[in-house]
C-alpha cells in the first residue's frame, strides 16, 4: 500500500497483483475492495491486474453475459451503481472479478441501495394503506379505523424489507452479496430506507384518525421495529420471505386470534381492546423493546450468514 498523506492510501502494483491472484489476506482484500469503490485510479489498477490473469478474460465474459441477461432497468442499475467486484465472491476465497472504475454518481448508488422505498410498487402500496384508513374513517364513518391501521402497520415495513432483499426480489442479489457493500450492510441500508418512509407516514396517518379506544398512534413503532429485526435475524436461517411470513403471521395471530372470542361489541372495538393489551403500558412496550434488543443481538451474531446467499 502506498500513502499520499497520513490519512490516504492507494493500491500499489504488488498489492493489486496479490489481490488478482487470490492470495491477499481477507482483511486486506476487504480493505482494498472498500477503497476502490471511491478511487478510480486504484480501481483501474486492480482491474488491469485481474485482466492479466488467466481467469480475467473468462470473468469478463461472464459478467457481460450476466448484464446482457438482466432486464433493462436492472442492467442500468448494475452498470451505474452496483458495488464492485462483480464476480465471483471474494469472501469465499475465489479469484476476484474485474473491478470497474467507480464512475457512477452518488445519487445512482443511493437509488440502487435504497430498495423499494424509492422504486417499485411498494411506496404506492404504503400510500394506499394510509389513504384507505382515512377513507374508512372519514368517508365510510368507520369508528375503529385507527385500530385497523395499528393492526396492519407493523406488517408494512416487514413486507417492504422482505421485498427489498433476497434472491426472489433482487436480480443482482448474488452479485451484491459478494461485495463489501453487500450482505448485511445492504440489507440494513434497505431496511433503513423502508423504515424512513413507512414509520412517519403511517404514524402521521394514525394521528389523523379518531382514537375510538385504540392505543396511541405511535404505539406500534417498537413492535414494528422488533418484528423487522426479528425477521432479519430469522432470515439468516430460513430466508427473507419465509422469515417475514413467520413473524408477520405471529403478529396477526397475537392480535386477531383472541378477537372473535372477546365478549360483546363490534369487531373493531374488540380489536382495539386486544391492541391495548399488546401495545399499551410500560410493560408491553418494555417487552417489545427487549424483543428488539434480543433480535438485534441475534442478528449481529448471525452476520456471517449474510455473507453467503440466503434462500
Tell me the pLDDT tens digit for each residue of 133-176: 999 888 888 888 999 999 999 999 998 888 888 777 776 676 66
Burial classification of residue 26, based on how many CB atoms lie within 10 Å of its CB (0-12 exposed, 13-18 middle, 19 or more buried): exposed
Maximum CA extent, the chain:
78
Q: Looking at the structure, do residues 174 and 301 belong to the same domain, yes or no?
A: yes
CA 285 from centroid of its chain's CA atoms: 25
The secondary structure element, H or E, covering residue 110 is: helix 106-114
How confident is the model over 182-216, as pLDDT tens digits?
778 888 888 988 898 899 999 999 999 998 888 99
- For 231-269, the pLDDT digits (tens) are 999 999 998 889 999 999 999 999 988 777 655 557 888
Indicate if 123 and 99 belong to the same structural domain: no
Co-location of 166 and 225 in the same domain: yes
Beta bridge partners of 9: 3
CATH of the domain at 60: 1.10.10
Q: What is the pLDDT of residue 175?
A: 66
Could you say which of 104, 123, 138 is where a domain stops? Answer: 104
Query: Any idea how long the chain is?
Result: 311
Angle between helices 240-256 and 145-152 (to 10 degrees): 150
Do 290 and 194 share a structural domain?
A: yes
Q: How far is CA 229 from the centre of its chain?
A: 11
Q: Residue 220 in contact with residue 150, Cβ under 8 Å?
A: yes
Examine the domain organization and report whether 95 and 127 are in the same domain: no
Question: Which residue is associated with the grid cell 471474494?
Answer: 90
Residues 191 and 280 in one domain: yes
Both 64 and 152 in one domain: the answer is no
Cα–chain-centroid distance for residue 197?
13
Domain count, the chain: 2
- As a whole number of angstroms, the distance between CA 39 and CA 71 comes to 28
136 and 29 both lie in a single domain: no
Q: Are 311 and 167 in contact (CB under 8 A)?
A: yes
Determine contact, residues 209/136, Cβ cutoff 8 Å.
no
Do 278 and 193 lie in a common domain? yes
The helices-and-strands tally (H runs, E runs) of the chain is 15, 2
Examine the domain organization and report whether 130 and 164 are in the same domain: yes
- Residue 72's pLDDT band, with cuts at 50, 70 and 90, is low
Q: Is 73 found in the same domain as 143? A: no
The answer on 162 and 51 residing in a single domain is: no
Non-local (6+) Cβ contacts of 46 within 8 A are 11, 16, 19, 20, 32, 36, 99
pLDDT of residue 289 exceeding 60, the answer is yes
Domain ends where: 53, 71, 104?
104
For residue 45, pLDDT over 90 is answered with no
Among 48, 77, 104, which residue terminates a domain?
Answer: 104
pTM: 0.68
Range of the domain at 213: 113-307
What is the C-alpha to C-alpha distance for residues 127 and 222, in angstroms, rounded to an integer? Answer: 21
Q: Which of 93, 99, 92, 96 is nearest to 38 (CA)?
A: 99
pLDDT at position 302, please? 92
pLDDT band at 179 (very low <50, low <70, confident <90, very high): low
Amino acid at each position: 500500500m502506498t500513502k499520499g498523506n497520513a490519512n490516504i492510501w492507494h493500491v500499489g502494483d504488488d498489492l493489486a497483483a496479490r489481490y488478482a491472484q487470490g492470495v491477499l489476506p481477507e482483511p486486506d482484500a476487504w480493505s482494498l475492495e472498500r477503497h476502490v469503490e471511491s478511487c478510480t485510479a486504484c480501481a483501474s489498477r486492480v482491474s488491469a491486474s485481474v485482466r492479466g490473469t488467466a481467469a480475467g478474460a473468462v470473468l469478463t465474459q461472464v459478467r457481460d453475459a450476466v448484464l446482457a441477461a438482466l432486464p433493462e432497468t436492472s442492467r442500468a442499475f448494475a452498470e451505474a451503481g452496483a458495488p464492485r467486484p462483480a464476480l465471483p465472491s471474494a469472501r469465499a476465497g475465489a479469484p476476484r472479478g474485474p473491478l470497474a472504475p467507480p464512475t457512477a454518481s452518488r445519487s445512482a448508488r443511493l437509488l440502487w441501495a435504497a430498495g423499494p422505498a424509492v422504486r417499485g410498487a411498494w411506496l404506492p402500496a404504503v400510500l394506499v394503506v394510509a389513504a384507505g384508513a382515512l377513507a374508512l374513517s372519514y368517508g365510510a364513518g368507520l369508528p375503529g379505523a385507527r385500530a385497523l391501521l395499528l393492526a396492519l402497520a407493523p406488517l408494512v415495513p416487514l413486507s417492504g424489507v422482505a421485498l427489498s432483499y433476497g434472491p426472489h426480489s433482487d436480480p443482482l442479489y448474488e452479485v451484491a452479496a459478494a461485495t463489501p457493500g453487500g450482505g448485511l450492510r445492504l440489507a440494513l441500508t434497505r431496511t433503513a430506507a423502508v423504515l424512513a418512509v413507512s414509520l412517519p407516514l403511517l404514524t402521521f396517518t394514525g394521528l389523523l384518525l379518531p382514537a375510538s379506544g385504540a392505543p396511541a398512534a405511535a404505539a406500534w413503532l417498537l413492535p414494528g421495529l422488533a418484528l423487522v429485526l426479528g425477521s432479519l435475524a430469522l432470515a439468516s436461517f430460513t430466508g427473507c420471505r419465509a422469515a417475514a411470513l413467520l413473524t408477520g403471521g405471529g403478529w396477526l395471530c397475537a392480535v386477531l386470534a383472541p378477537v372473535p372470542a372477546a365478549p360483546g361489541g363490534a369487531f373493531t372495538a374488540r380489536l382495539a381492546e386486544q391492541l391495548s393489551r399488546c401495545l399499551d403500558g410500560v410493560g408491553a412496550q418494555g417487552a417489545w423493546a427487549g424483543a428488539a434488543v434480543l433480535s438485534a443481538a441475534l442478528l449481529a451474531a448471525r452476520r456471517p450468514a449474510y455473507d453467503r446467499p440466503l434462500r
